[in-house]
Amino acid sequence: MSARSEPAGVGRGLDDRRWTVAERVAEVIRRRFPADVLAIAVHGPLAHGDDDGGGDGEVGMLVVTYRPGSGPPPATRRVDGVLVDLTVAAADDYLGQARVLSPLWPLTADRYVTTRSLYDPTGWLRTLRDEHLGRLARARPAEFSTAARQAWYRGSAAHSRAARLAEWYETDQALLMLGEARLAAATVTGLLGRTYFRDPGDAVRRTGLAGADMTEVGAVLARQAEELAARGRPVDGTIDDLLTG
């Protein structure tokens, strides 16, 4: 995926309702919080420039403030029929998040490296992207393996729970847990391959797990366990392993 931060309006039709709403929201925020806001951007499909314009998707917006607790409150609300998810974060806090390599990295990285500016007079969004890419460049293979192992534990637990629920004919709950197992297995694949995804749906599609059944997900988790063991640390260990991290 490419990393970019571009001016609003590039590569879109002027009649795109979601862009129109995003621009209006940004304008109101700048007017109401002129001393608090450092940057405003969109992420997700709008930032990638391939939003379908159908009007049913979510507008993901980021508001960066100079200080914690300032600016508008985080919120999710429909505006003129368009769902807007507003993330508000202080600049230093958000940069700190961008420097963390967590088990959810494959699902969060896109927000750091692919944004499109609605307001960014100081070029802060480029700093955000560069900070995250710099962190990845410094990351050791063991860090990705550690994060992948944590994601694997989450996926294995969800898969086991799904299997038990299926045995008890709790079909709806079993499907929900199977969905969690699919997504966790997808993040493991992303971490082992240093690949990030645009969203959870993209993660399961690109890893071939979108339609995987219980047996197939179990087989993927088993292969991942073997790879993690080959990288120097099995997923099963002793009490001493547990207590030493």
Written as one string, the DSSP assignment of 47-82 is HHT-----S-SEEEEEEEESSTT-SSPPEEEEETTE
pLDDT confidence of 10, banded at 50, 70, 90?
very low
Contacts 24+ apart (CB under 8 A), 155-164: 155/180, 155/181, 155/183, 155/184, 155/185, 155/187, 155/188, 155/217, 155/221, 155/224, 156/181, 156/221, 156/225, 156/235, 158/184, 159/214, 159/217, 159/218, 159/221, 162/214, 163/214, 163/218
Q: How far apart are CA 218 and CA 201, in angstroms?
A: 19
Q: How many CB atoms lie within 10 A of CB 120?
A: 21
- Does the pLDDT at position 4 exceed 60? no
Average of pLDDT values for 139-166?
97
> What pLDDT does 56 receive?
54
pLDDT confidence of 74, banded at 50, 70, 90?
very high
Residues 88-116: tens digit of each pLDDT: 999 999 999 999 999 999 999 999 999 99
CB 112 within 8 A of CB 121: no
> What pLDDT does 240 receive?
86
pLDDT confidence of 1, banded at 50, 70, 90?
very low
- Does the pLDDT at position 14 exceed 80? no
- Does the pLDDT at position 183 exceed 60? yes
Contacts 24+ apart (CB under 8 A), 220-223: 220/185, 220/189, 221/152, 221/155, 221/156, 221/159, 221/181, 221/185, 221/188
- Does the pLDDT at position 177 exceed 90? yes
Q: What is the mean pLDDT of the chain?
A: 91
